[in-house]
């Protein structure tokens, strides 16, 4: 298969997943400079199942840092902040659109989402560790960074399975195997979807550049997600055939952060990786809350 064939085919697909209209409007609204609580809350309320899910996630252990339950969307917006609510809406909606895509064989969906959620959670902890001002966006970024893999699986299933197996057999990164077999990578395909959906530019940047953060525009955000991606793989949240041992300070994400003046050298990585022992529980709880069924292992 060639790159052009894949692109042509993607253009022709009529049932390409779409975001619910309300969600697209929320994403657009969130990018405007004069967004206010009432508009945001009004829009989310137009989609009652979405409103219920956002409230559920806001009360999940992962977000929960308040003694009392958050019982209304307006309260959630006040307590968590508009930015965080938009992060939740984006994550929950994209995940809901995709949770049932993919065909099971070869592409292991559960393993895939575990990897993505783990990357988001680790990215958030790492951003906190660095006191990065990424406003929770690194979580959504981590969650969506590999979204192109779902498209490849859904619309180019046999070639994608072939690429997946090639990456395992040859212990090479999946994107190299994709390039070889499909002529295109999950980063490019995911980026096309991000453009089509009008996702914020930082998300498109993360999706396109998470394997080479030095090329990114939103460099610190992409670098943080790229390191979280590596750490997720080094833990038990791998997907594909990449080697999981690496020297962190040799990674381009690390160097990008160092060059930007982040004190990466001062992070106690031993303590940080130990704290990742809890990631499993958080991954399960997040997936259970968003998908509505248990993420049994
Ligand atoms: Fe990737
Ligand atoms: Fe990844």
| Nearest ligand to residue 116 Cα | 2
- 133 and 253 share one domain: yes
Q: How far is the CA of 116 from the centre of ligand 1 (A)?
A: 10
- 234 and 142 share one domain: yes
- 266 and 158 share one domain: yes
Please tell me the distance from the alpha carbon of residue 76 to that of residue 289, in angstroms, as a whole number.
Answer: 16
Give the number of domains in the chain.
Answer: 2
- 93 and 190 share one domain: no
- Dihedral pair phi/psi, residue 13, rounded to 5°: -65, 120
- 9 and 42 share one domain: no
Q: How far is the CA of 27 from the centre of ligand 2 (A)?
A: 23
CATH code of residue 133: 1.10.3210.10
Last residue of a domain, one of 100, 122, 150: 100
Last residue of a domain, one of 44, 66, 100: 100
| Nearest ligand to residue 190 Cα | 1
| Nearest ligand to residue 229 Cα | 2
Please tell me the distance from the alpha carbon of residue 119 to that of residue 141, in angstroms, as a whole number.
Answer: 9
- 282 and 230 share one domain: yes
Least confident of 83-97, 131-145, 214-228, 234-248: 234-248
- 148 and 292 share one domain: yes
| Nearest ligand to residue 122 Cα | 2
Q: How far is the CA of 37 from the centre of ligand 2 (A)?
A: 33
179-209 pLDDT, tens digit per residue, is 999 999 999 999 999 998 889 999 999 999 9
Query: What's the whole-model pTM score?
Result: 0.90
Q: Which domain holds residue 54?
A: 18-100
104-117 pLDDT, tens digit per residue, is 555 677 888 899 99
Q: How far is the CA of 190 from the centre of ligand 1 (A)?
A: 10
Q: How far is the CA of 151 from the centre of ligand 1 (A)?
A: 13
Please tell me the distance from the alpha carbon of residue 141 to that of residue 297, in angstroms, as a whole number.
Answer: 25
Task: Give the confidence band of 125 by pLDDT, cuts at 50, 70, 90.
Answer: very high
- 75 and 210 share one domain: no
């Amino acid at each position: 298969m060639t790159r052009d064939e894949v692109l042509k085919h993607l253009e022709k697909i009529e049932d390409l997943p779409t975001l619910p209209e309300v969600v697209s409007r929320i994403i657009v609204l969130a990018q405007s400079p004069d967004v206010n609580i009432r508009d945001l809350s009004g829009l989310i309320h137009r989609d009652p199942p979405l409103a219920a899910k956002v409230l559920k996630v806001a009360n999940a252990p992962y977000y929960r840092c308040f003694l009392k339950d958050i019982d209304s969307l307006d309260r959630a917006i006040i307590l968590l902040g508009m930015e965080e609510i938009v992060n939740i809406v984006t994550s929950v909606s994209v995940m809901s659109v995709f949770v049932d895509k993919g065909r099971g064989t070869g592409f292991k969906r559960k393993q895939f989402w575990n990897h993505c959620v783990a990357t988001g959670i680790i990215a958030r902890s790492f951003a906190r560790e660095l006191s990065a001002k990424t406003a929770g966006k690194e979580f959504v970024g981590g969650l969506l960074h590999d979204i192109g893999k779902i498209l490849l699986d859904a619309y180019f299933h046999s070639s994608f399975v072939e690429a997946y197996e090639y990456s395992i057999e040859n212990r090479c990164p999946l994107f190299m195997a994709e390039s070889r077999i499909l002529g295109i990578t999950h980063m490019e395909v995911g980026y096309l979807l991000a453009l089509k959906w009008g996702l914020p530019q930082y998300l498109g940047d993360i999706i396109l550049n998470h394997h080479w953060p030095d090329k990114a525009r939103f460099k610190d955000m992409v670098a943080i997600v790229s390191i979280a991606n590596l750490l997720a793989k080094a833990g038990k949240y791998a997907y594909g055939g990449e080697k999981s041992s690496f020297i962190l300070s040799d990674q381009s994400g690390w160097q990008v952060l160092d060059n930007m003046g982040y004190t990466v050298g001062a992070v106690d990585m031993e303590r940080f990786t130990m704290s990742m022992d809890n990631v499993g529980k958080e991954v399960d709880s997040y997936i259970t809350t968003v998908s509505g069924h248990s993420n049994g292992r």
